[in-house]
Homo-oligomer: A and B are copies of this chain.
Amino acid sequence: MSESADIFSKFETELTVRPDDIDLYQHVHSTRYLDYVLAARFIQMERDYGMSMQDFADRGLGWFMTSSTVNYKRPLGLGDSMIVRCWIESFADRGCRVAFEIDRQPTGKRSCDGFCDYALIDLSTSRAIAIPEDIRTQYSI
């Protein structure tokens, strides 16, 4: 990773638990928290960075997740609302690390946090490529 953390903007999206997210323990199923992060990130890419997943696809590019780590603190339940906070923690030549936090509303208590590593993929070859300079600039906010 070539840059220090905490220099990029954090963006927030409010989401609400759906009944189909709840599991046999009456809590949000553990694999759904990452779905909330992806949903929030797709919104933030378009709204906050001005370059959506579709804009990447139109240039023949896609972001593929290469690893994910989630630390579970307090489960969410039926009807709960949450703030999903995401930011770029660092850039690598061919990808980036996106960190996240999910806080239950209205208490603001941490539900989980973690990070996802992404590679930028040339969709025509399915291979990782160096992040074009204009994209890196647009996402370095």
A interface residues, Cβ below 8 angstroms from B: 16, 18-20, 22-26, 29-32, 34-35, 38-39, 42-43, 46, 52-54, 62, 64-72, 75, 78-79, 114
Contact = CB atoms under 8 A, between A and B. Distances in A.
B34 A19 contact: no
A31 B24 contact: no
Contacts of A31: 20, 31-32, 34-35, 38
B64 A78 contact: no
The prevalent SS among residues of A at the interface is mixed
Nearest to A20: B35
A106 to B, nearest CB: 16
A67 B67 contact: no
A24 B53 CA distance: 11
Given A53-B78, A54-B78, A78-B24, A42 B68 contact: no
Given A64-B72, A67-B71, 9 more contacts: A19-B29, A19-B38, A30-B34, A30-B38, A31-B34, A42-B78, A46-B79, A66-B72, A67-B69
